[in-house]
Chains A and B, each alone.
Chain A
Amino acid sequence: MADRQTPQLELSGITKAYPGTLANDNVDLTVLPGEIHALLGENGAGKSTLVKIIYGVVKADAGEMRWLGDRVTVNNPSEARALGIGMVFQHFNLFETLTVAENISLGLDEPHDIKTLSGEIITISERYGLPLNPARHVHALSVAERQRVEIIRCLVQNPKLLIMDEPTSVLTPQEVDSLFGTLRQLSKEGCSILYISHKLDEIQSLCDAATVLRMGKVTARCTPARETPRSLAEMMIGSALPTCKRASRAGKSETVFSLNGLSMVSSDPHGTDLKDITLELGRGEIVAIAGVTGNGQKEFLCALNGEQATADARMIEMLGEPIGKLGPKDRRMRGMAFVPEERLGRGAVPEMSLAMNALLTGYLRNLVRRGFTRTGHIRSFARDIREAFKVKAPDIDVEAKSLSGGNLQKFIIGREIMLDPKVLVLGFPTWGVDVGAAAAIHQAIIDLAARGTAILIVSEDLDELFEICDRIAVIAEGRLSPSKSTRTTNIEEVGMWMSGAFETGGHAHAS
């Protein structure tokens, strides 16, 4: 790469404040033509805000942007597209009830007709190895296919800069490889790529240059290939990545919780049905359910929590008792606890105080007597959670939504752990959580298992699952793979399973 090249994109002094936080603080960023440039940072570092500013979704409070050397202002996404900027968001901006072609059409600014567009979509999809049928409805697509819609939506407009916001969190390892192939091809053709991620290995294998953000500020610029994961982690979080300690477990323990051919029709017409899921959980065991989001995790968690009853009560058994037809309250009375995938609005009521949120699922403790709530008990329970799990909150009267993602998650998980469960189910426990909080959460889970609780974690973060779990299984299109000990399997095998390549039905219990 020539040294004197005019940058494709140059940002200087970008600042953006939200009430209570400074999302971007005087950020500079330079992306050269054809360069794959990493924007590295942990959750909440301000990466998403920065790219939304580039794409014109969010307005910066201060700073300037240059495009091929010329000063530009981008007031909305269509101006960004006119410049030649395309963006694939982390949360897809797709419309389920519309077709692929209609979805792509909605992201274009010039007039066009759907038929010609469909032809173009097919051409591009073949050229870049992104197979896609323009006439299909989005709700029928897998997550990887949905991402292709987003990518093709950008490519149709011949972008000079493609922004990808955490694109691999929804892909299997094999799909990641093929995405990287596409991105390298684009870069060879001269398209710059701004690649946002917190995954160090990906950045090292893919990116030419990196800018590192921490708490809204640029902390480093580097060439990833010349760094080590450890040095990158230090730039990103200011210290080495924390690891947690887990005593190795001996042998098989008594079964506490079992799923026996669990099948269920999704209540969401666009959802995934569960098909014949079989799994056993031993005392003190931590079992992982990996898989790409949208493969039935939502329904699986609903079924475990009891929000939707099973057809046959014996499909779910706890300590030998069929509980498939019991609701959440009855399951909790038998010693289940549950951390849902959504923090605000499900795991916690956003506009209620932490104290009231302690009561939300803490009601089976001594917080209610003869139908009346006991304020003193509720408050001391909330205080205990806050202290035991180091939740950073000024007091227990603040609204749940005022806490950061990591702190609120510590509170929710803390609440469930304090209920002293025999079985704890967690959905995506560290999603969107900062590294420090994630480590604390992992340690809390491990400690709970050491006290004998059987734990089931549903997550898409393979690194996390391999780090803390004893056994791993994969959910794909509503079916569950056999489970294997995390010591006898590896990311490649699990990746194969994630694409649905496994035999089901066995009570395979390899360890």
Chain B
Amino acid sequence: MDGIDTAVAIAAGTMRAGTPLVLAALGELITEKSGVLNLGIEGMMLVGAVSGFIVTVLTGSVYLGVCAAIIAGMLMSLIFGVLTLSMMTNQVASGLALTIFGVGLSAFMGINYVGTPIAGLKPIAIPVLSDVPVIGPVLFNQDLLVYASYLLFFAIAWFLYRTRWGLILRAVGETHDAAHAIGHPVILIRYLAVMFGGAMAGLSGAYLSLVYTPQWAENMSAGRGWIALALVVFATWRPGRVLLGAYLFGGITILSLHVQALGYNVSSHLIATLPYLATIVVLVIISRDITKIKLNAPASLGRPFHPTL
């Protein structure tokens, strides 16, 4: 019985640890499907996290905090959009810039909020479903944002593969010149995709500072934005696999916490390297099949678009 309880606790923890990755990676998936590579997730997450935290402290409402985080993430992504889409700057460099800026800005904004306690979002058990053994407590006794991530996943999968706008988005990401020539507004679509990615990164940041920890600390995303980027590659740009990969990483994080709880005497520093090493291993395994990557990656990914007018 004790074993099962531990397993359920680990699984439920995995869901929570995986959720910020799910949110950020799904957002980046949409951005990349439109042909834009935004390396600034880490920066958008941090600014989202700190904005959400500040608004929560000031208003006392976690929900307003979540909204603020989404808006902050969108505004950050808008900077990136203006640079790369309107000014045609290098996407890699601009994404790095966004992260560097986000790290600095969030540290600056949150300077008076480090260590401030807040009441984060509490789990809400869904009636009936949460009573199902094992699955219930793992999937249906979570907080609102975890449920939101389920919904967002289905919405995104449906949007991409079942709607006309999803088709257009994929077309723009594959061959922007052709999409432009037959009359689709490439730049506008990319702006929307980039801003959706920003909103999701902001939401992901809010999950960290309002639910997962819940507190604000400098650089608290600790590379999750980058792991989310790796997840998109790992998932070969498919939403279902993003989910799978995110929970896999959530699991690694939770397990590494349990290693010490189980009494193994391993340096916490060494354990902390595990998610990063796992990211490298996963990337290597997926990327070695070049054909697979070529077949699945949006063909215009990272290429600037300048319509000749």
The answer on direct contact between A and B (beta carbons under 8 Å) is: yes
Known: A95-B171, A96-B174, A269-B294. A106 touches B308 (CB 8 A): no
Known: A95-B174, A97-B174. A111 touches B164 (CB 8 A): yes
Known: A81-B183, A98-B170, A105-B164. A93 touches B294 (CB 8 A): no
Count the B residues whose beta carbon is within 8 Å of the partner chain — how many? 21
Check A102–B167 contact: CB distance below 8 A: yes
Report the Cα distance A57→B179, complex, angstroms.
11
Asked if B241 is at the interface of the complex by the 8 Å CB criterion, the answer is: no
Asked if B157 is at the interface of the complex by the 8 Å CB criterion, the answer is: no
Check A93–B177 contact: CB distance below 8 A: yes
Instruction: For chain A, give the interface size range.
Output: 20 to 34
A-facing residues in B275-308 (Cβ within 8 Å):
291, 294-295, 299, 308
Residues on the B chain within 8 Å of A95, using CB? 170-171, 174-175, 178-179
Report the Cα distance A77→B182, complex, angstroms.
6
Residues on the A chain within 8 Å of B171, using CB? 95, 98, 106
Residues on the B chain within 8 Å of A11, using CB? none
Q: From DSSP, what is the main secondary structure of chain A's interface residues?
A: loop
Known: A58-B308, A269-B295. A93 touches B167 (CB 8 A): no
Check A268–B167 contact: CB distance below 8 A: no
* Distance in Å: Cβ of A48 to nearest Cβ of chain B: 11
* Distance in Å: Cβ of B301 to nearest Cβ of chain A: 13
Residues on the A chain within 8 Å of B170, using CB? 95, 97-98
Asked if B238 is at the interface of the complex by the 8 Å CB criterion, the answer is: no
Contact of B309 among A59, A78, A105, A106 (CB under 8 A): A59
Q: Which residue of A is nearest B177, CB measured?
A: A93
Contact of A107 among B174, B182, B309 (CB under 8 A): B182
Residues on the B chain within 8 Å of A56, using CB? 183
Known: A76-B183, A97-B174. A58 touches B167 (CB 8 A): no
Residues on the B chain within 8 Å of A96, using CB? 174-175, 299
Asked if A151 is at the interface of the complex by the 8 Å CB criterion, the answer is: no
Asked if A502 is at the interface of the complex by the 8 Å CB criterion, the answer is: no
Residues on the A chain within 8 Å of B183, using CB? 56-57, 76-78, 80-81, 107, 109
Q: Which residue of A is nearest B181, CB measured?
A: A93
* Most chain B CB within a 10 A radius of its CB, from A78, A80, A95: A95
Residues on the B chain within 8 Å of A109, using CB? 183
* Distance in Å: Cβ of B293 to nearest Cβ of chain A: 10
Report the Cα distance A106→B184, complex, angstroms.
9
Residues on the A chain within 8 Å of B308, using CB? 18, 58
Asked if A89 is at the interface of the complex by the 8 Å CB criterion, the answer is: yes
A-facing residues in B136-174 (Cβ within 8 Å):
164, 167-168, 170-171, 174
Report the Cα distance A448→B135, complex, angstroms.
77
Q: Which residue of A is nearest B309, CB measured?
A: A59
Asked if A301 is at the interface of the complex by the 8 Å CB criterion, the answer is: no
Known: A93-B175, A102-B167, A106-B167. A57 touches B291 (CB 8 A): no
Check B181–A105 contact: CB distance below 8 A: no
* Distance in Å: Cβ of A24 to nearest Cβ of chain B: 13
Residues on the B chain within 8 Å of A78, using CB? 183
* Most chain A CB within a 10 A radius of its CB, from B167, B170, B175, B182: B182
Check B309–A58 contact: CB distance below 8 A: yes
Asked if A359 is at the interface of the complex by the 8 Å CB criterion, the answer is: no
Check A94–B178 contact: CB distance below 8 A: yes
Check A57–B180 contact: CB distance below 8 A: yes
Check B181–A57 contact: CB distance below 8 A: yes
Residues on the A chain within 8 Å of B177, using CB? 91, 93
Report the Cα distance A239→B233, complex, angstroms.
57
Report the Cα distance A105→B166, complex, angstroms.
13
* Distance in Å: Cβ of B126 to nearest Cβ of chain A: 35
Residues on the A chain within 8 Å of B175, using CB? 93-96
* Distance in Å: Cβ of A464 to nearest Cβ of chain B: 27
Residues on the A chain within 8 Å of B179, using CB? 93, 95, 106
Residues on the B chain within 8 Å of A111, using CB? 164
Residues on the B chain within 8 Å of A81, using CB? 183
Check A93–B164 contact: CB distance below 8 A: no
Residues on the A chain within 8 Å of B178, using CB? 92-95
* Distance in Å: Cβ of A53 to nearest Cβ of chain B: 11
Residues on the A chain within 8 Å of B167, using CB? 98, 102, 105-106
Residues on the B chain within 8 Å of A107, using CB? 182-183
A-facing residues in B182-211 (Cβ within 8 Å):
182-184
B-facing residues in A88-137 (Cβ within 8 Å):
89, 91-98, 102, 105-107, 109, 111
* Most chain B CB within a 10 A radius of its CB, from A98, A106, A269: A106
Q: Which residue of A is nearest B293, CB measured?
A: A269
Report the Cα distance A96→B164, complex, angstroms.
17
Report the Cα distance A96→B298, complex, angstroms.
11
Report the Cα distance A183→B79, complex, angstroms.
49
Q: Which residue of A is nearest B185, CB measured?
A: A76
Report the Cα distance A59→B168, complex, angstroms.
23
Report the Cα distance A426→B272, complex, angstroms.
56
* Distance in Å: Cβ of A362 to nearest Cβ of chain B: 30
Report the Cα distance A389→B164, complex, angstroms.
52
Report the Cα distance A89→B291, complex, angstroms.
29
Report the Cα distance A106→B179, complex, angstroms.
8
Residues on the A chain within 8 Å of B164, using CB? 105, 111
Report the Cα distance A89→B181, complex, angstroms.
9
Check B174–A268 contact: CB distance below 8 A: no
Residues on the B chain within 8 Å of A91, using CB? 177
Residues on the A chain within 8 Å of B174, using CB? 95-98
* Distance in Å: Cβ of A123 to nearest Cβ of chain B: 22
Report the Cα distance A58→B180, complex, angstroms.
11
* Distance in Å: Cβ of B240 to nearest Cβ of chain A: 17
Report the Cα distance A358→B274, complex, angstroms.
50
* Distance in Å: Cβ of B166 to nearest Cβ of chain A: 11
Taking A78-B183, A96-B299 as known contacts, 14 extra A-B pairs with beta carbons closer than 8 A to each other, sorted by chain A number, are A18-B308, A56-B183, A77-B181, A77-B182, A89-B181, A93-B175, A93-B179, A96-B174, A97-B295, A98-B167, A98-B174, A106-B179, A111-B164, A269-B294
Would you list the 7 A-B pairs with minimal beta carbon distance, nearest first? A77-B183, A93-B178, A78-B183, A93-B181, A107-B182, A269-B291, A95-B174
Could you list some 20 contacts between A and B, CB below 8 A?
A59-B309, A81-B183, A93-B177, A93-B179, A93-B181, A93-B182, A95-B170, A95-B171, A95-B178, A95-B179, A96-B174, A97-B170, A97-B295, A98-B167, A102-B167, A105-B164, A105-B167, A106-B168, A107-B183, A269-B291
